[in-house]
A and B are shown apart, each in its own frame.
Chain A
Amino acid sequence: MATATQRLEQALNRKMIFGPGRIVTRVALLNTGSFAQMMTADLPTEKSFFIRIDANRKIFVHVLLALLVGFALPCDKAFPQASDSDQPWANVSGRILLEGKVPEIPLEKIDGHKDRSICLVDGKIPTDDSLVVDETGGLRDVFVILTPLDSETKIPVHPSYHKAANTTLELDNRNCRFVPHAMAVMTGQSILLKNSDAVGHNCKIASFNNEHNVNLPAGGEAEIKLELADRIPANVACDIHPWMDALILAKDHPYVAITSVDGSFQLKNVPMGKWKLQFWHQRFGYLRKLSVPGVKVDRKGRIDLDLADAQAMELGSMKLPVSAIK
Chain B
Amino acid sequence: MKRCSSFCILAIAVLACAACGPAEPIEFRYNAVEQLKQERLFMDEGEHFPDSSREEVTSILKILFGTPDRPQRSDEAAAILDLTRLNMAAGPVESEIDGTPHGLYREHCAHCHGISGDGAGATAALLNPYPRDFRLGKFKFKSTPLRTPPTDRDLTRILHNGIPGSAMPSFRLLPDEEIAALVDYVKYLSIRGQLERTLLAEISSLDGESLFEIEQSETAPEIDSMSADEVPDAIGPEFLEDIVARWQNADERVTAVPAAPAGFQIGHADHGNLTSQGRELFFTKGNCTQCHGETAAGDGSTVNFDDWTNDWLKTPGIDPYDRESWKPFMALGALRPRPVQPRNLNLGVFRGGDAAEDIYRRIANGIEGSPMPASAALSSNEIWALVAYVKSLVHANDKFSKP
Residues in chain A within 8 A of chain B (CB atoms) = 1-2, 4, 7-8, 10-11, 14-20, 24-31, 34, 50, 52, 55, 113-115, 193, 199-204, 206, 208, 211-218, 220-222, 231, 235, 239-242, 285-286, 288, 299-300, 326
CB distance from A199 to the nearest CB of B (A): 7
Partner of B377, one of A26, A114, A215: A215
Residue of A29, A193, A218, A288 contacting most chain B CB atoms (<10 Å): A29
Determine if A222 and B206 form an interchain contact, defined as CB atoms under 8 angstroms apart.
no
Which A residues are CB-close (under 8 A) to B202? 17-18
Q: A31-B219, A214-B374 are in contact. Are A18 and B239 (CB under 8 A)?
A: yes
Q: Contacting chain A: which of B54-62, B173-181, B229-237?
A: B229-237
Determine if B206 and A15 form an interchain contact, defined as CB atoms under 8 angstroms apart.
yes
**B357 contacts the other chain (CB 8 A):** no
**B303 contacts the other chain (CB 8 A):** yes
Determine if A18 and B198 form an interchain contact, defined as CB atoms under 8 angstroms apart.
yes
Determine if A213 and B146 form an interchain contact, defined as CB atoms under 8 angstroms apart.
yes
Q: A24-B236, A231-B205 are in contact. Are A213 and B290 (CB under 8 A)?
A: no
Partner of B236, one of A4, A27, A239: A27
**Apart from A15-B206, A17-B202, A231-B205, what 15 extra A-B contacts exist at CB < 8 Å?**
A1-B218, A7-B214, A7-B215, A15-B205, A16-B236, A18-B238, A27-B213, A28-B213, A31-B219, A203-B373, A215-B287, A222-B377, A239-B302, A240-B300, A241-B302
CB distance from B140 to the nearest CB of A (A): 12
Question: A-facing mask of B26-55, CB < 8 A → 1, else 0?
Answer: 000000000000000110100000000000
Q: Can you list 28 contacts pairing A with B, beta carbon distance less than 8 Å?
A: A2-B217, A7-B214, A11-B213, A17-B202, A18-B238, A19-B238, A25-B237, A27-B213, A28-B213, A29-B219, A50-B233, A200-B290, A202-B371, A204-B371, A204-B373, A212-B146, A212-B374, A213-B372, A215-B286, A215-B373, A216-B373, A216-B376, A220-B377, A239-B373, A240-B300, A240-B371, A286-B42, A300-B207
CB distance from A281 to the nearest CB of B (A): 13
Q: Which residue of B lies closest to A12 (CB)?
A: B213
Determine if B221 and A235 form an interchain contact, defined as CB atoms under 8 angstroms apart.
no
**In chain B between 277 and 315, which residues have their CB closer than 8 angstroms to a CB of chain A?**
284-287, 289-291, 300-304, 307, 314-315
Ranked nearest first, the 5 interchain pairs of A and B with the lowest CB-CB distance are: A239-B371, A222-B376, A200-B287, A217-B287, A202-B373
Q: Which residue of B lies closest to A211 (CB)?
A: B147
Determine if B146 and A220 form an interchain contact, defined as CB atoms under 8 angstroms apart.
no
Determine if B373 and A213 form an interchain contact, defined as CB atoms under 8 angstroms apart.
yes
Q: A113-B301, A199-B290 are in contact. Are A213 and B366 (CB under 8 A)?
A: yes
Residues in chain B within 8 A of chain A (CB atoms) = 41-42, 44, 146-147, 198, 201-202, 205-207, 212-215, 217-221, 230, 233-234, 236-239, 242, 284-287, 289-291, 300-304, 307, 314-315, 317, 366, 371-378
Judged by DSSP, the binding face of B is loop
Q: A11-B214, A18-B198, A212-B146 are in contact. Are A217 and B41 (CB under 8 A)?
A: no
Which A residues are CB-close (under 8 A) to B377? 215-217, 220-222
CB distance from A109 to the nearest CB of B (A): 11
CB distance from A175 to the nearest CB of B (A): 16
Determine if A285 and B376 form an interchain contact, defined as CB atoms under 8 angstroms apart.
no
Q: A14-B206, A15-B206, A30-B219 are in contact. Are A242 and B302 (CB under 8 A)?
A: yes
Q: Which residue of A lies closest to B201 (CB)?
A: A208
> A2–B372 Cα gap in the complex (Å)?
53
Determine if A240 and B301 form an interchain contact, defined as CB atoms under 8 angstroms apart.
yes
> A213–B369 Cα gap in the complex (Å)?
10
Residue of B44, B219, B300 contacting most chain A CB atoms (<10 Å): B219
CB distance from B283 to the nearest CB of A (A): 10
> A25–B290 Cα gap in the complex (Å)?
48
Which A residues are CB-close (under 8 A) to B302? 113, 239-242
Partner of A214, one of B207, B219, B236, B373: B373
> A187–B219 Cα gap in the complex (Å)?
40
Which A residues are CB-close (under 8 A) to B376? 193, 214-216, 220, 222
CB distance from A6 to the nearest CB of B (A): 10
> A16–B238 Cα gap in the complex (Å)?
10
Which A residues are CB-close (under 8 A) to B374? 212-215
> A193–B83 Cα gap in the complex (Å)?
45
CB distance from A32 to the nearest CB of B (A): 10
CB distance from B149 to the nearest CB of A (A): 13
